[in-house]
Structure 1
Amino acid sequence: MAIIRILIAGLAFASLSACGAAYISSDIANFRGDDSVQVVDLSTAVVAQANRSAYQPEALPAAFSRIAGAGSRLRGGARLPEPVFDPQTRPGALELRVPPAVDPGSYVIGVGDVLILATPRWESSVEEMAGLVAAQNQRQGYTVQDNGDIAIPDIGRINVGNMTLSEAEDAVFERLIAARIDPTFSLEVAEFNSQRISIGGAVREPGVVPIGMLPVYLNEVLAQAGGVDVGSDAFSVIRIYRDGTLYQIPTADLYADQNLQRIRLVNGDSIFVDTAYDFEQAQAYFEETIQRAQFTQNARANAIAALQAEVSIRRNALEESRQNFRDRVEFGAAGGDFVYIAGEVTRPGRFELPFGNTATLADALFDAGGWSEATGDPSQIYLMRGASAGEQLSAITAYRLDGSNALNLTLATRMELRPGDVIFVAEQPVTRWNRVIDQITPTIFNLGAAAVN
């Protein structure tokens, strides 16, 4: 009976072979010695020689390397005319005109102010707000931007413009709660830049005095400017320009009356110590200065708006160009340099070579999921490459990588790919036998059943 079974199996295999149905596997090793195929084992020297073949990766279009602001330039407004009003003659009798008392209330946060968010360093909120506290640890605050926002990492933008410090703390508190962050903090104004008083004229150090949380008085501003620098108090006057109205205090009256020294100043006040202007000329001078400043500011704002519009148009054009290229690549109208992967790999197919860079054997092999652990033979990994330009079209080089030695995988990370390369992983001998058995087993059973009947 055993002899009969062997004969049946042999007849079945012969029958399969005769009709061409027997399993036949791909094998590159059988081509060793063939003049048209050169099988070369990969080594460091072989990799270096193979990589010397001429190849220039396809470059991305220039739109992917350009920026929208390239070549843009901020253009200012027209040149301002020369000032008209200059010091003329010393005034005669000086009239005392005192500005009314004011109470601006609590300090209002404005553009340019620098806020510091202080948190306890020993509590867990510091770790939860790592990006937010880093600046405070280094004494770096958050500057209020043109639209009144401050940008806090991990929290986002919070509008605090035209708010008191208490209102700003409430706004920050709500955002921290919304972000599920421990809201233990205190808000401080580190730099007062939004509210100012300007002082000029006959003072030793003209400039700008910022207004902070505390009230600012006339004698303090004069002291910060180095004091009045005039030859005679009888012919000097301190002029205060506020909300389109000009007030004046003769220097002699200022020193004689302490209440005049404690006049409270507010944001936007302009102080000018004059020794030659009369009232009308001083008022004209301030009005001209304000008009020139407003003209410059408006021209600057218009130039910024024009620049932003230009950059936006360029950005849209660049993005449209880039999207057109992506669509062409998607539909196969651009690019098209591929390497083909076959044999015992997890995902056979093709691997697209990147733009502007080279890829290696390891990149393509592991992009395909690597060789199959169940059926692939890691010692028989081949990279097949056709002839270069000028050589015979039939010449093929098969570079063999012995991946059974893990150290050889470093060669795969250095072996560069070229368009049209084919990567092939051979099957294990036992895999070949199993597939043959799987193919002939049904026929054996059929023949055996026929013999029994």
Structure 2
Amino acid sequence: MKRLLSCALLGSSLFLGGCVLSPGSDMPYEKSGPPIDDLVDVQPITFGLVQAQNAARKEFISQQSLKEATQEMTSDTSDYNYRIGKGDILNIVVYDHPELTIPAGGERSSVETGNVVHSDGTIFYPYVGRIHVAGKNVADVRAQIASSLADYIAEPQVEVNIASFQSQKVYVSGQVSNPGQQPITNTPLTVLDAITSAGGLNENADWRHVVLTHKNGQEEIINVYDMLQNGQMSQNRLLNDGDVLHVPDVGSQKVYVLGEVLRPQDLPMGGHRFSLVDALSQSGGIDEVEAQASGIFVIRQGGPGDKMATVYQLDASNAASFVIGTEFELEPQDIVYVTTAPISRWNRVISQLLPTTNLTRSSVGSVNDYNDL
């Protein structure tokens, strides 16, 4: 009887131990498709690789600059001339004839005393009558008024300027400090001007995919990063009435740092470039106890031929290799992965087995205690 009870207790202990070793149910699955190793291209990060990448990057920038120099510059502002629109307020002065000029003073500004362009695009002026000014520049209006006054005044000297710009505006939205509308004035307004007037891009902005939507619905993608970092100013478009400039958030423009680092995280690359060492240092560095120094990888989508990804490996067993890592530039959506050292993997297996071992010892001890009784 005692032996039978002992066997039952021992069997139940082994059953419980087996549950610990094999948690969960048995889920059948199929292994299909080519091995993952066949879909990736592995390259060591060496001084030669870094030099080749830097040369390719400089060549690309040089080609873009050449293209920029030969194409028609749509952002050329040398011949910019503001056209008067409905709602603008004109300030008209006829020298030596104060009766034709309403003076502005301490109580009234030039905006309050100016001539408003009506909804039909006209203004009224003494001795001249109603004249159409919408679509004209101030030089045209000045000449027209002077010509009409010549019948009443000898050699009239006329000055026309815009006291308030009300007719034309652009809209800046998204990841800027002060989104809102901005007036178009007699000073050309470009993409960079509008962003600067809006307080600049904030830390969550995507510098590479700023969307410019024109009044006719046509869209352009503006790379502000290339303008500021690489001098590709052909993208600095001249803005027109009704344009909408939207700065999206950083979205997927990030670098992901995973594995044996102190702070696994994603790093936004909106307006920054990161080297491999930058990404590791901002993540607290590699875990010196758990990490395998020779297993620092950068996984990048795409590769030669039909490869799914390219894996770059930095062997930092010699600390001097980090010098190469400072020159290896990351791209958006790169994954930096630091593997675990073999001894750490063994320690984790042991730590998972220890609870099972303790349970088995406890069960055997219970059987011995029963036998003693």
- Which range, TM-score by smaller chain? 0.3 to 0.5
| TM-score, scaled to structure 2 | 0.41
Highest relative contact order (Cα 8 Å, sep 6+), 1 or 2? 1
| TM-score, scaled to structure 1 | 0.34
